[in-house]
Amino acid sequence: GAMVAAIVHLYNSESHNAQKTPAERAKAKLTNKPLSGSKLSKANPAVGQGCGAYQCRTGGKHAGVDILATDGTKLQAPGSGTASVGYLKGYGKTVLINHGDGVQTRFAHLASYTVKEGAKVTVTTDIGTVGRTGNVPSGGQSHLHFEVLVDGNRINPSDVFTWTQDK
C-alpha cells in the first residue's frame, strides 16, 4: 500500500511539474540575478540599431540579453549547478551552467573563466569576468551576453529576472 502510494505521489509531482511554464521552472532554479545593478544595453553596435533585449535585434533574433558592465567585472553563478567552459564561435569565451530540471544559463563574451570544466557551482561561485571576446564590434561596449535555456530552448531572460533598460 505505502509503496504504491509513494509511486503515485511521485508520478503526480512529476506531472505537476510538467504544468509549470519554462520561465517558472527557470525561476525555481535561478535566484541570483547576474549583474544586478546593471542595465540592459539599448544599442546594438553590430547593426547600429535595435537593442540588447531579447528578440529585438535587427537582422536576426537576439536570443539573450546584453547587460552593460565594465571589462573585468566578476560574474557569479545565478544558481547551483555544473559548469561547462569553452570558446564558441561568435560567443567567445563562454560558461554554460546546467542547473538541473532542463534549466541552463549561458554567459558569453567573457574576458576570462574562473571555473573549470565540470566544476560544481553555487550562487557565491565566481564563474568568470566580463569582456569582449567573440563577436563584439571593436567600438562596442563591454557587456555580458546572458541566455536562459529550458529543455534546450532559449527563453527570454527578462521573464526570469528584471533589469532596467539603458536609455
CA distance 39 to 62: 17
Give the tens place of pLDDT for each residue, 130-157: 998 888 766 667 889 999 999 999 888 8
CA distance 113 to 86: 9
Say which residue the cell 506531472 belongs to: 15
pTM of the model: 0.80
DSSP state of 156: -
Say which residue the cell 535595435 belongs to: 50
Residue 123 confidence (pLDDT) above 60: yes
- pLDDT band of 42, cuts 50, 70, 90: low
Q: Determine the pLDDT at residue 43.
A: 54
Give the tens place of pLDDT for each residue, 61-104: 567 888 888 999 999 999 999 999 999 988 999 999 999 999 99
